[in-house]
Homo-oligomer: A and B are copies of this chain.
Amino acid sequence: MKLLRMRLREDSTLRRTITMRVTIEDIAKKAGLSAASVSRILNNTGRFSEATAKKVRAIADELGYYKNRSASDLASHTQTTLGVINYPAETDSNFHVIRGITEQARQSDVDVLIMIAERDDQTAIRKVVEDLIERRVFSILFLSVHPDQAIIDLIKRAGIYPQEVASAYALDLSYVSSNDYQMGQLATRTLIDKGYSRIGFVGADPEKDIVGTQRFAGYQAALKAAGITYRPEWLFVGDGKYSYQSGLDAVPYYTDNADVDSVFATSDDGALGIINGLIDRDGAFTHQWGIISTDGSQICEQTRPKISSVTQDFNLIGRMAVDEAVRAITDLPKEKRQIDVPFRLELRETTPAK
């Protein structure tokens, strides 16, 4: 067992030191065995006697041995790692998704590498993707991150299965998420059922991404089914980013331009913005409009009034994404796959009957 700390040269910025650590050889020597036997024992593979096993495990423990994954992976051609690329935002639900991913991954005995990239920064995304390819992950999951076609091609070419999770964006990428069309439909129908008829649509851009397109389509379908004629001034895109700000800005917009009696906010943040916009305008919230949002994060419980929502099961989305990824190990889907995860309606205080 060598424990010297040494320096390596590197032409780039930094020099890194490494510590030589306990190897399987050290254990073998100390136990009077071969490395192979130690390997078998430590990995619970092949056959060996409990007696020697006990001894070996004791020595490993005593020496503070940890397998060198690089060596192990290299020798065994094993890849049990799942890559996740996340765009972390202040209020987001990805953490639920990540929890789900982590939980399911543990059960499926794969481990998870999470890396960060900005939503649309293709250079950064590419860098992270390449890192993940070098690490030989078997699948890459994108959470709120939108790689362009070139990057997707590169991933596929590397034999890795890419998926979008919790947000279908575009392109030929498989995804696991709620069905946005149906969510839009349900939200809108709920408002209609409560007696509202002039319904604003806030925060998503029907032209920009699939989520927006689908939710908007569902919204229109519900309108039509109820015999309500859609009016273009009911649409308020704002920054089109499902943001708090777009909700805030929607209030003066509708006040000036459209006589809506209710609003379908395409995010909880947007709904919060609308509530605050109303308070800012009127001095207090007066149930001026019915409001329903999508997502159903805890924000909905923490506003006054509490926000009614079409609630997604982000944890389940994460879990199912892992299942998909694991399944893809054995048979890589040729086609783009679309997995719809169930959602539900939660009526709270912003949708009183009219």
Binding site for B on A (CB under 8 A): 5-6, 8, 10-21, 44-45, 64, 66-74, 76-80, 88-92, 95-96, 98-99, 102, 108-116, 130-131, 133-136, 138, 154, 157-159, 244, 272-273, 276, 279-280, 284, 297-298, 302, 304, 326, 329-330
- CB-nearest residue of chain B relative to A117? B102
* Alpha-carbon separation in the docked complex, A83 to B106 (Å): 18
* Alpha-carbon separation in the docked complex, A284 to B273 (Å): 18
Which of the listed residues A45, A69, A78, A272 has the most CB atoms from chain B within 10 Å of its own CB? Answer: A69
Q: B159, A19: Cβ atoms under 8 Å?
A: yes
- CB-nearest residue of chain B relative to A157? B64
Q: A109, B298: Cβ atoms under 8 Å?
A: no
Identify which of B16, B69, B74 contacts A71 (C-beta below 8 A): B74
Identify which of B15, B20, B78, B115 contacts A112 (C-beta below 8 A): B115
Q: A8, B70: Cβ atoms under 8 Å?
A: no
Q: B16, A158: Cβ atoms under 8 Å?
A: no
Identify which of B20, B72, B98, B272 contacts A116 (C-beta below 8 A): B98
Shortest distance between the CB of A189 and any CB in chain B (Å): 28
Q: A79, B18: Cβ atoms under 8 Å?
A: yes
| Chain B residues, CB < 8 A from A67 | 134
* Alpha-carbon separation in the docked complex, A298 to B10 (Å): 42
* Alpha-carbon separation in the docked complex, A111 to B95 (Å): 21
Q: A99-B88, A298-B91 are in contact. Are A73 and B70 (CB under 8 A)?
A: yes
Q: B108, A21: Cβ atoms under 8 Å?
A: no
Additional pairs, 18, CB under 8 Å, beyond known A13-B108, A19-B159, A111-B131:
A11-B45, A14-B80, A14-B329, A16-B138, A18-B78, A64-B158, A66-B133, A66-B134, A68-B74, A69-B70, A69-B135, A88-B95, A88-B99, A92-B95, A99-B116, A112-B116, A273-B302, A280-B304
